[in-house]
Amino acid sequence: MTETTTSLPAGPVDDTDLVSEAQRDPSKFTALYDRYLRPIYRYLYSRVGNASDAEDLTAQTFLSAFEALPRYRHQGHFSAWLFTIARNRVRDHYRPRTVEMPLNESQPNPADDPLVQVVRSDQLAHMAKAIRSLSEGEKELIRLRFAAELSFSEIGECLGKREEAVKKSFYRLMTRLQRQLEERHE
Amino acid sequence: MSDPASVLQFEVLLSHSLVIPEPDPGFAQTLRSRLSAQAAVPAARRSKARRMVWALVLGLVLLIALTVWIIGPQRVAAEVQKLFEYIPGFGIVEQNAPLRALEKPVSQTRDGITLTITQAFLSPEKTVVTYTLEGVPWSAYSHNEAVPGCIPGAALRLPDGTLLPLIGGGGPPTQVTVDFPPIPAKVDSFTFVLPCIQDTLPGLAPENWELPLRVVPAAALTAMPVFEVSPSPQPQQNTPLPPKNPLVLLQVIDTGNSYVLLGEFRQADASDASVPSGSWWSAGLEKITDASGQAVFNTVPYDPTLLLPPSEPGAEPWSYQIGKTFTPPLTITYRGQDIYPAVPNATAAIDFDAGPSPQPGQEWVLNQDFVLAGHAIRLTSIQAVGNTGGLRNTGYEFSFESSDPSIYDLSVAISGYTVVGGGGGYGGTPSGQWQTELDYTVQPKGKLEVVLSGLTLYGETRTWQLQWSPATAEPGSPSLYGISMGIDRILSTAAGTYLLGHTSWTDSRIVAATTVAGSFTATDSQGQAVPLEPANGQDVGLTLGPNQWLYRIAGNSFAAPLTLRATQMQVTFKQPVQLTLDLRPYGFDGSDAQLGLTWKIGLNPLEVPGLIAVPHWITYIRSGDLRGFDILMEADPALLALPFSIASGTNSQGTPVFQSGGASTRDPASGQLLSTVLTKGNITLPMVLSASGETVSGSWVTIWASPAASPTASPTQATQP
């Protein structure tokens, strides 16, 4: 008979409780894993654009978080902490290429920008072009909001900005993108 | 300035445009098991164990690579090339795969909320369960982002107590499709466990739902054929190899009403010797056209499983859904712009003093001009970014501007510091402004040298095309639904000439097709319009059949032959097209305060025979004492109207007679198809709408060679009663 090691949250269990439980009993970390696998994977896929690397980085993220959890202090959102690990893993992922490859190959190829690759709509070409024109910070905002589905508060903590500032930046960005697409249609 | 509502709509549009696959069930389960195993290992041993696991994974990868190398990739490809089929709600599977399905839907109602498991599919790879929730009060949901509602973490419990956790899925609150790991073949009964309802607050909705499910072999699944598209034959030996087409069609799904085309754009095959070294292409769909050059309406399938994984690095998958009313062959056109590195790879350096303690948000306005490979650029400002968090990096954001439209991007570095992250914005934008951010583990400070290099430029524009015809396509230009017209009788009277004709069709999905008066015209041999008008059969003592038409030409002074053309047809479906509206999970209460509010609804195409119609937005409206909804749809241009009536979802509340009805037209503002339903009765959701027919555009022609022009070919003269 298979033993179950998971206790399902019987309602809207707060992250803080899950983290505390996992810090006391490492086997409870799977509850955090169940909660964050999808957003972490989707975020990483939007960064690297292929399932293989996204899986690799997802595994690294959760293994790192598992290792570091005893040192985690309850300050702000657990999700922000987890996503910071994920973002650092992405940076590590790209770092060796920056060092080892010639300059013209080390730059990320914007055509391969995974965020652009996952944009699919009837306005694909225009939307993709508009997103391609965004700064990295703006793209990250879109990834965290749409791929990871984080709240403005969580994004703010992730990016080291106030929630209100993130919200303003986000809606300014939406307005600008919308206007760009409308101008193309006119 | 965009209004908040339209920005919200755009936000929804953008979020739906991002289609990111869910984690693979096998991967999710494996990683979960690894984490569980890690938990059982003393902390000091974990690092070593992790290295061993990775070594095993690496060994497995090497073994696979060796196998491929030994037996050859082509043989491997041939081995894995099998026939597939598409099952809506599940995805593309191998034909004859041992699938199981839910024996029957299972429901449970608690406190007025009904949870129904409507569908479940089981394969050796995954388990997919679809459930609906009805009756959840709006007040039970969290409406404050800072107070998140429940994240349910659905699971399946097997008879031995094993819990299979959720590994993916999602959907609107009313209908959720969730993925789980595969269930062993010997297990045919298990329990669906839902700890709480998504986004609801504690205590406001029933919790800990458990529904027993039973599955049986899936004998009669709705499976749609998936056709593998064969590559073009390879040229004979000693023949120069033609350039590969980077635009590749790989699979076609026949959904009955439409085709779904799945393929990819391969960067590696797009460049040749004529473009600069290091080029890549910024490419996307330009158009899909039929044999006559007419644009073929297309949409992106809603189901995220309808996107193949990239077959090689740099391959960009695509999928488009089209109706079946085009004239083959179909031509897909992609347009791309070359992006290439400037030559020489010039470098410019700018000195910048960040001071001893740069603070996040601190900005230095520089406005320094420089020239790279002949292109003028200005570094307008530098801003410090970052925060004090221990795990996070700090750095600088560089703002540039240029009036040179050929600039795509350039790279930025600070001498002596190794960047750990960040990235660039791109030039060539309408504003000519862009930003690049560089992140470091430790913030560079003091006097810094900013090095600018790696300029990339916009190059030539190219288009690529591929053609495809359905295997069953017939030559020539097929008429929509196989509709054609013919003339039955000509009646000459003192009041003019009466033309009695009929329409016929070959498509069994429709039961009637009639001409639309305003779109029926006649022209003579000189191309002159001949005035005509619809007439009643009673005028000439005839009773018209269900698909007959009668028009009257005033007088006989026209040059034969006469060309009769219909550009619109009213079509009646064999099976009505249905649309279910349920806005309850979105807080719809029917109050006046909500009049004018617009909701985003599902993106699944309606079952309109042969044509694509995808509902996007629904607006609550009032017209006089009637209330109802405007439904905006993205639809095939040939679909001019799809009027709905209310099949259920309105009641008279004691009023014995009440009115309801619908209308449909093309919205002049957006060009989208607009259908409106209104009722005098009270609205109760879900509301089921039904369309028994549609109006479509096309060109249907029949020619009458009048007696004067060709006596032997004249139609028979009607016998006067």
- Kindly report the nearest CA distance between residue A86 and chain B, in angstroms: 11
Residues of B in contact with A41 (CB under 8 A): 22-23
- For chain A, the straight-line distance linking the first and the last C-alpha, in angstroms and rounded, comes to 65
Check residue A145 and give its pLDDT.
85
Residue A12: per-residue pLDDT: 40
CB atoms within 10 A of CB B324: 20
Chain A contact for B410 (CB, 8 A cutoff): no
Of B31, B160, B341, the CB nearest to A58: B31
| Of B1-10, B279-288, B447-456, B549-558, highest mean pLDDT | B447-456
Q: Which of A60, A88, A56, A84 minimizes the C-alpha distance to A72?
A: A84
pLDDT at residue A106, rounded to an integer: 29
Residue with the larger pLDDT of the pair B570 and B224: B570
Locate B45 and state its tokens. 């041993």
Average pLDDT of chain B to the nearest whole number:
78
- CB-based burial of residue B528 (10 Å sphere; 0-12 exposed, 13-18 middle, 19+ buried)? exposed
Name every chain B residue with its beta carbon within 8 A of the beta carbon of A133.
425-426, 428-429, 434
Higher pLDDT: B639 or B92? It is B639
Q: Check A137 against B50: CB less than 8 A apart.
A: no
Q: For position B408, what pLDDT does the model report?
A: 82
Bridge partner residues of B501 (DSSP) = B487, B549
Share of chain A above pLDDT 70, in %: 64
* Residue B13 pLDDT grade (very low, low, confident, very high; cuts 50, 70, 90): low
Cα–Cα distance measured from residue B684 to residue B654, given in angstroms and rounded to the nearest whole number = 15
Listed residue (B168, B322, B202, B208) closest to B258, CA to CA: B322
CA atoms within 13 A on the CB side of B528: 7
Stronger pLDDT, B110 or B344, i.e. the higher one: B110
B:688-717 residues touching chain A, CB 8 A cutoff: none
- Average pLDDT on A59-86 reads 78
Encoded tokens for B338: 């070359």
Question: Which of A81-85, B165-169, B195-199, B496-500 is the least confident region?
Answer: B165-169
Q: Identify which has the larger pLDDT, A60 or B45.
A: A60
Q: What percent of chain B has pLDDT over 70?
A: 77
Q: What does the DSSP 8-state code read for residue B529?
A: B
Contacts of A23 by beta carbon, 8 Å cutoff, 6+ apart:
A69, A70, A72
Other CB atoms within 10 A of residue A165 CB: 13
Contact call for B207 and A38, based on CB within 8 A: no
A6 touches chain B (CB under 8 A): yes
Reported as a pLDDT band with limits 50, 70 and 90, residue B239 is low
Q: What is the pLDDT of residue B78?
A: 28
Cβ pair B424:A136 closer than 8 A: yes
Q: In this complex, which of B161, B425, B454 lies closest to A134 when CB atoms are compared?
A: B425
> Which residues in chain A have Cβ-Cβ distances shorter than 8 Å to B161?
1-4
State the pLDDT at residue B382: 93
Q: Looking at CA atoms only, how far is residue A77 from chain B in angstroms?
A: 11
Q: Tell me which chain A residue has its CA closest to the CA of residue B166.
A: A34
Spatial separation of the C-alpha atoms in residues B366 and B347, rounded to whole Å: 18
On the question of pLDDT at B424 being above 80, the answer is: no
Q: How far, in Å, CA of B190 to CA of B711, rounded?
A: 78
Separation CA B548–CA B501 (nearest Å):
6
CA dist., res. B508 & res. B451, Å (int): 70
A window 144-173, beta carbon within 8 A of B: 146-147, 151-153, 159-161, 171
Q: Which of B6, B386, B409 faces A178 most closely, judged by CB atoms?
A: B6
B7·A9 Cβ contact <8 A: no
Residue B195's nearest CA partner among B143, B129, B149, B130 is B149
pTM of the model: 0.57
Between CA B714 and CA B707 the distance in angstroms is: 5
Are B163 and A122 a contacting pair at CB < 8 A? no
Residues 6+ apart with CB under 8 A from B10: A174, A177, A178, A181, B2
Q: Does A62 touch chain B (CB under 8 A)?
A: yes
> Which residues of chain A does B422 touch, with a Cβ-Cβ cutoff of 8 Å?
136
> What per-residue confidence (pLDDT) applies to A23?
80
Q: Quick check: B289 pLDDT over 70?
A: yes
Cβ-based contacts of B420 with chain A (< 8 Å)? 91, 95
Is the pLDDT reported for residue B586 higher than 90?
A: no
For residue B536, the model assigns a pLDDT of 87
pLDDT interval class at A8 (50, 70, 90): very low
State whether residue B501 is helix, strand or coil.
strand
Cβ pair A129:B426 closer than 8 A: no
Distance CA B698, CA B568 (A): 6
In this prediction, residues B689-716 reach a mean pLDDT of 72
| Residue-level pLDDT at B715 | 41
Length of chain A: 186
Q: Is residue A4 less than 8 Å (CB to CB) from chain B? A: yes
pLDDT tens column, B504-542: 998 889 999 999 888 899 888 888 888 888 888 888 888
What does residue B504 show for φ and ψ, rounded to 5 degrees? -140, 165
- Given a cut of 70, is residue A122 above it in pLDDT? no
pLDDT at position B625 is: 79
Residues on chain B touching A168 (C-beta within 8 angstroms): none
Q: Residue B467 CB: number of other CB atoms within 10 A? A: 12
Q: What is the pLDDT of residue A116?
A: 52
- Mean pLDDT, range B115-119, rounded to an integer: 92
Rounded to whole angstroms, how far apart are CA atoms B196 and B202?
A: 9
The answer to whether B201 faces chain A, any CB pair under 8 Å, is yes
Q: Give dist(CA A137, CA B636) in Å, integer.
A: 38
Residues 247-286 of B with CB under 8 A from A: 267, 278, 280-286
CB within 8 Å of B33: residues ≥ 6 apart: none
- Whose CA is closest to B629, among B686, B672, B581? B581
Cα–Cα distance for residue pair B221/B44, rounded to 1 Å = 52
Which contiguous run of DSSP H or E holds residue B615?
strand B613-623
3-class DSSP state of A149: coil
* Euclidean distance between the first and the last CA atom of chain B, given in angstroms as a whole number: 69
Three-class DSSP category at A13: coil
Residue A28: predicted pLDDT: 84
Place of tokens 């119609």: B613
Report which of A146, A51, A125 is spatially closest to residue B265, judged by C-alpha positions: A125
| More confident call, B190 vs B602 | B190
How far is the alpha carbon of A51 from chain B, nearest alpha carbon, in Å?
Answer: 8
Q: Which of A51, A62, A122 sits opposite B300 (nearest CB)?
A: A122
> Which long-range contacts link B40-49 to residues 24+ away (Cβ below 8 Å)?
B40/A27, B43/A70, B46/A67, B47/A67
How far apart CA A76 and CA A157 sit, in angstroms, is: 7
Q: Does B21 touch chain A (CB under 8 A)?
A: yes
Q: Among B74-83, B337-346, B496-505, which stretch is predicted with the lowest mean pLDDT?
A: B74-83
Mean pLDDT of B403-429: 74
The continuous run of DSSP H or E covering B15 comes out as helix B4-17
Residue B663 has pLDDT above 70, yes or no: yes
pLDDT for B165: 86
Residues 103-132 of A with CB under 8 A from B: 103-105, 107-112, 115, 117-125, 127-129, 132
Give SS3 for B427.
coil
What integer pLDDT is reported at residue A92 of this predicted model? Answer: 63
| Span A58-68, average pLDDT | 83
Does the structure show a pLDDT above 60 at A37?
Answer: yes
Q: Dihedrals φ, ψ of B94, to 5°? A: -70, 145
B35 in A contact zone (CB under 8 Å): yes
Chain B residues inside the 8 Å CB shell of A152? 145
Q: How confident is the model at residue A9 (pLDDT cuts 50, 70, 90)?
A: very low
Please report how many Cα atoms fall inside a 13 Å half-sphere around the Cα of residue B310, on the Cβ side: 21
Check pLDDT > 90 for residue B442.
no
Mean of pLDDT values over A128-154: 79
How confident is the model over B588-608, as a mean pLDDT? Answer: 78
So what's the pLDDT on residue B607?
86
- Is B38 in contact with A110 (Cβ distance < 8 A)? no
A11 and B32 within 8 Å at the Cβ level: the answer is: no
Is B492 in contact with B720 (CB distance < 8 Å)? no
| Nearest C-alpha neighbor of B508 from the set B578, B579, B572 | B572
Closest alpha carbon within chain B to A2? B162
pLDDT, position B431? 63
pLDDT at B46 over 70: no
CA atoms of B699 and B326, how far apart (whole Å): 13
Q: Is A51 on the interface with B (CB under 8 A)?
A: yes
CA distance B255 to chain A (A): 19
